[in-house]
Amino acid sequence: MSEYLKFAHELADASGKIIRKYFRSKMTVEDKADDSPVTVADRLTETIMREMISKKFPDHDILGEEHGYQPKGSKWKWVLDPIDGTRSFVAGMPIFGTLICLLEQEIPQIGMIDIPILQERWCGLRKKESIFYPNLPDGKPLACKVSNQQKIEQSILYSADPAMFNNIQKPYFDQIAAQAKLVRFGGDCYSYGLLASGHIDLVIEADLKNYDVMALVPVVESAGGLISDWNGNSSFDDKWDGCLVATASPELHKQALGLLKTS
């Protein structure tokens, strides 16, 4: 696994160089079929990462947000989201990130959240450790540990955007937000890094895709947190409805699920 971990860092380093080149520059922003924005930076970053993977591990599967699924029949699959938080990227907000995950038999083994503008990175190894790398490339790596928050009313809650919830989902989110100590929006994948490092306690989102979540799983779980859909299932396959809740403790997760379960 060490070879794969080293390579994941190389992918993050390469993607960061491209993204920093385009950040806060004038570029065309296109709307995809689902009305989400995409830029040349999104597409080029994923293309470069795909080329690196195909050269290093030509038999590995690749799934990416911008260029789809490239199956090779391997038990290994790389899942890429070149810019998670393209709206933040387009608006000049620096808290978007690149998500990189390596699956073995569809189980996330390595997850990486790279924040290229802030030059921060979280890396999780399944059932081993979650590490935060500040001030890249020279910052001292720090072990991640979630908070011990047990109560929603004392928790800090993050979500990317209140508009991500549909009319059915919104009341479930609102009742938790009304109880939380503090609610903030706009973090995208950065929120999950903050959760892993113990700065916040709870993240609730909806309308997500597989490539949005796979890298988050090892980062959160290996820091001691929990991550699942709103019904407590942790299988984010093609049947997943796109709803996600991540928490710092089993008790907090239980409370959140009790208020979120839609079936």
Residue 26's pLDDT band (cuts 50, 70, 90): confident
Q: Which amino acid is at 200?
A: I
Q: Are 114 and 186 in contact (CB under 8 A)?
A: no
pLDDT in tens, 32-72: 777 688 899 999 999 999 999 999 999 999 999 898 899 99
Domains of the chain in sequence order: 2-143 (3.30.540.10), 152-260 (3.40.190.80)
Amino acid (one-letter) located at 261: K
pTM above 0.75, yes or no: yes
pLDDT of residue 35: 65
At 68 the pLDDT is 87
Q: Is the pLDDT of residue 262 over 80?
A: no
- For 180-246, give the DSSP string: SSEEEE--TTHHHHHHHTTS--EEEE-S--HHHHTTHHHHHHTTT-EEE-TTS----STT--S-EEE
| Averaged pLDDT of the chain | 95
Q: Are 126 and 107 in contact (CB under 8 A)?
A: yes
For 158-183, the pLDDT digits (tens) are 999 999 999 999 999 999 999 999 99
Q: To the nearest whole percent, how much of the chain has pLDDT over 90?
A: 88
Residue 158 CA to residue 107 CA, distance in Å, equals 26
The tokens describing 173, both together, are: 């989110």
